[in-house]
């Protein structure tokens, strides 16, 4: 257990014991099954995701990597026919426990989507939205600070500091995506999930976002779903390969790409399918 969990539980001896036992695991998934109506979309996936690491999920389209990602902050709850079984724990707390409020969970586990989706509001309001709804600030000056620091962390500050009042939808695609990342950071999550964050961006914007991901790794646990194996190799330290709803292989990125264990992983990274 990392010290993300703060002082509240640092005094808890049991927790500390567990934390040392689990080393550095932020998210632990055990035997997760996901069903869309009759379709069995995720089969028996168990994976540990380490804190302050970039973990990449790769695999051919439709393999379930995005679905699994959306389980991690219970975004699948918004889909009526979706059903999740198994256990997913963050900091050793089952996030599907009935006592858990998905709203609180999502404040802790932020998400960035495939297509940049800024709200049709000003840049400032886009960032301020999260802190406002979660009641994180008491004064306007605090909010200003959060907005500024989030934009700085997302590397967007210099580009937009003079036009915080202009609409977020007026930015370029890459800027919009970084705005969405800044928006996610503003609620100070511990985990950031990214669902193919660069698939709608051009190469230059992609490079900027990747650079940003690398910087964010210092403070956040990042899980990124990507189509591009190069991107996985560039930004991640750990890689998980999904195929047809199964987690085929997970390991250090270098190992996966140079020395895959499973035949399917090898076929995929050498371009036989996908």
Q: Please report, as ranges, the residues that interact with another protein according to CB under 8 A.
A: 2-6, 8-9, 24, 50-53, 73, 75, 78, 80, 90-91, 93, 95, 97, 99-101, 103-108, 110-113, 115, 117-121, 129-131, 133-137, 142, 145-146, 149-150, 180, 183-184, 187-188, 190, 217-220, 237
Give the length of the chain: 274
Give residue for tokens 């399918």.
Answer: 273
Longest dimension (CA), the chain: 57
* CB of residue 8 to another protein, shortest distance in Å: 6
* CB of residue 21 to another protein, shortest distance in Å: 16
How far apart are alpha carbons 257 and 270 in whole angstroms?
9
* CB of residue 130 to another protein, shortest distance in Å: 4
* 217 vs 227, beta carbon nearer another protein: 217
* 105 vs 248, beta carbon nearer another protein: 105
Query: Measured between alpha carbons, how far is residue 188 from residues 123, 131, 218 in Å?
Result: 18, 9, 13
* 63 vs 192, beta carbon nearer another protein: 192
Q: 26: part of which helix (H) or strand (E)?
A: strand 25-36
* CB of residue 66 to another protein, shortest distance in Å: 12
* CB of residue 131 to another protein, shortest distance in Å: 7
* 100 vs 207, beta carbon nearer another protein: 100
How far apart are alpha carbons 148 and 182 in whole angstroms?
10
* 65 vs 106, beta carbon nearer another protein: 106
> Per the structure block, which two tokens stand in for 18?
């567990």
Instruction: Give the list of residues 6+ apart from residue 11 with CB closer than 8 angstroms, or none.
Output: none
* CB of residue 14 to another protein, shortest distance in Å: 13
CB 154 within 8 Å of CB 185? yes
* 89 vs 248, beta carbon nearer another protein: 89
Q: What's the half-sphere exposure (Cβ side, CA atoms, 13 Å) at 150? A: 28
CB 212 within 8 Å of CB 181? yes
């Amino acid at each position: 257990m990392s010290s993300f969990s703060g002082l509240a539980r640092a005094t808890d001896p049991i927790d500390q014991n567990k934390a040392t036992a689990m080393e550095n695991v932020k998210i632990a998934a055990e035997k997760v099954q996901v069903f869309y109506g009759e379709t069995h979309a995720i089969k028996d996936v168990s994976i540990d995701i380490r804190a302050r690491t970039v973990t990449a999920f790769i695999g051919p389209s439709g393999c379930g990597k995005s679905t699994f990602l959306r389980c991690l902050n219970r975004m699948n709850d918004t889909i009526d026919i979706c059903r999740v079984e198994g256990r997913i724990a963050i900091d050793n707390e089952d996030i599907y426990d009935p006592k858990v409020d998905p709203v609180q969970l999502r404040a802790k586990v932020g998400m960035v989507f495939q297509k940049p989706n800024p709200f049709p509001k000003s840049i400032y309001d886009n960032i301020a939205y999260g802190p406002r709804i979660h009641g994180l600030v008491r004064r306007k000056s605090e909010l200003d600070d959060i907005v500024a620091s989030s934009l700085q962390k997302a590397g967007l500050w210099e580009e937009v500091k003079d036009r915080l009042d202009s609409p977020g939808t007026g930015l370029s695609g890459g800027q919009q995506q970084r705005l969405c990342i800044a928006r996610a950071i503003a609620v100070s999550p511990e985990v950031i999930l990214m669902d193919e964050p660069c698939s709608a961006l051009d190469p230059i914007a992609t490079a900027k976002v990747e650079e940003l991901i690398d910087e964010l790794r210092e403070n956040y646990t990042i899980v990124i779903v990507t189509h591009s194996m190069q991107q996985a190799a560039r930004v991640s330290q750990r890689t998980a390969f999904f195929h047809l709803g199964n987690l085929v292989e997970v390991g250090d990125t270098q190992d996966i790409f140079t020395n895959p264990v499973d035949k399917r992983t090898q076929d995929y990274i050498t371009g036989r399918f996908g």
